[in-house]
Amino acid sequence: MAKLSNTHCGRFGPYASSRREMLQCSALGFGWLAASKLVAEHQPAQVQGRRPTHPPAATNVVFLFMAGGPSHVDTYDPKPELTRLDGQVTPESIQDHFQASAVQGNGTRKLMASPFRFRRFGESGLWASNLVEHTAEHIDDLCIVRSLQHDTVIHVPGEYVMTTGTIGGDRPSLGAWISYGLGSENQNLPGFVVFGGGPRPSYAPGFLPSESQGTAIGKAADGIPNLNMPHGVSIEQRQDQLSLIDQLNARHLQQLVDDDSELEARIRSYELAFRMQLAAPEAFDLSRETEATRRLYGLDDDRTRNIGEQCLLTRRLIERGVRFIQLRVEGWDSHDDLLGGHTAAAGKSDKPIAGLIADLRQRGLLDSTLLVWGGEFGRTPGVEKKGGRDHSPGGFTMWLAGGGIRGGQTIGKTDDVGYTAIDRVVTPADFHATILHAMGIDQHDLHFEHRGRQEIATFNGGSVLKEAFS
């Protein structure tokens, strides 16, 4: 089996005839060929030639990114000791844990019990709070990892760590790596779609080919930006325009001494843009969804409608072969009013996320779709300002579901009040290696030569959480 690597001739070995040579020799250009083929068939085609390194447990990923830092001790990591010590200064025995760790907590603040109610859910009896009660109804599908840890307390670098692996924002995002390594299952839609935006490096290609980057969607109802055909322009006229552009790009490419990834990506983007002008409107059309489905995602409620539409479109894009979807939910940064801030953030996202899990299951897609939930860090058990919590990268929670994951279990733990991970510490590299593994990618076999170094998605490597899988 060919390994996922990159050379001058491509990540899966030399082509019989390079794309560059074909473009240079083409009289009409690929834009015309792609357009005429799509107009004739109106059917999505699967991209061929890209294979995983081992049998995949999942074929698609949905990264539900909770921006701002959801509190683990108020969602999926209950702490009875925190309740008992409410209002007291952190005991020295607990301070010893985080003072000895790479990430020191703030032991001088008074502890604050969770204002949310915890109870057991499902046959597994795992604990979750009423803050996430809709998602917790599917807790037997969730593998809850309670021991994530990294070393930055700042939002944007934290988001970079959890989406790219390092705090600088100068490396490819995880979605870009997977898009690069496996390609798209549908040549008429992007392989990597982003709802809710966020800092661009969190979905950028870094040093990978530009085509690997995420396609950002603003409002779900608006679909992919700048995709509508200009008024008065026919399909035939668009074909002619693309043919001329391809001829000019091919002529320019022929004059270059070295390969130009940006130019070749631009050529491919023109081709994809035309195909999307015909295919995307159908994918983003929610009018044919049943009322029951719309209610399942919360489209009948102003609070949940926006995230609900994004989650429903996520399911539709998964059905159509989009490889990686990153859905960002803001509002979790609760320094002042944890009760109000977290209630609002969960209030707009918990039901839609639960709806997505239920809908994927009933359509037979959950087994092949890996769902990932979490933010850039957690929040401290200590009280800050007016009933809020501070940032806590020393120990926090994320969960995995679907895509070969064994649900109804927890991995790792934090100390008695939730400051620091103390058992089965999981780094972002470990977490990314686990996601790649689920997709059939060995982190060391997917690489790209950049400035003389064989770069891999996990930078220096991580350990796969093998116990997370069935």
Domains with residue ranges and CATH for the chain: 15-44+233-283 (no CATH), 60-224+291-468 (3.40.720)
Question: CA 311 to CA 328: how far, in whole Å?
Answer: 11
pLDDT one-digit tens code per residue, 229-256: 566 767 677 667 767 777 777 777 677 6
Q: Which residues contact 410 (CB under 8 A, 6 or more apart)?
A: 126, 143, 144, 145, 146
Confidence (pLDDT) at 419: 93
Tokens of 317: 């894009």
pLDDT one-digit tens code per residue, 397-429: 999 999 999 999 999 999 999 999 999 999 999
Q: Which class for 333: exposed (0-12), middle (13-18), buried (19 or more C-beta within 10 A)?
A: buried
Percent of the chain with pLDDT over 70: 77
Average pLDDT, the chain: 84
Q: What is the DSSP letter of 104?
A: -
Nearest to 175 by CA among 149, 157, 193: 193
Tokens of 216: 């950002």
Contact 360, 59 (CB under 8 A): no
Confidence (pLDDT) at 365: 98
Confidence (pLDDT) at 210: 85
Q: Which residue has better confidence, 385 or 335? A: 335
Q: Which residue has better confidence, 143 or 23? A: 143
Query: What is each CA distance from 121 to 44, 99, 136, 358, 430, in whole angstroms?
Result: 41, 34, 6, 16, 27
Confidence (pLDDT) at 188: 83
Confidence (pLDDT) at 313: 96
Question: CA 172 to CA 369: how far, in whole Å?
Answer: 22
3-state secondary structure of 279: helix
Confidence (pLDDT) at 280: 73
Q: Which class for 25: exposed (0-12), middle (13-18), buried (19 or more C-beta within 10 A)?
A: exposed
* pLDDT band with cut points at 50, 70 and 90 for residue 17: very low
Tokens of 111: 């502890």
**Which of 2-11, 172-181, 225-234, 394-403 is least confident?**
2-11
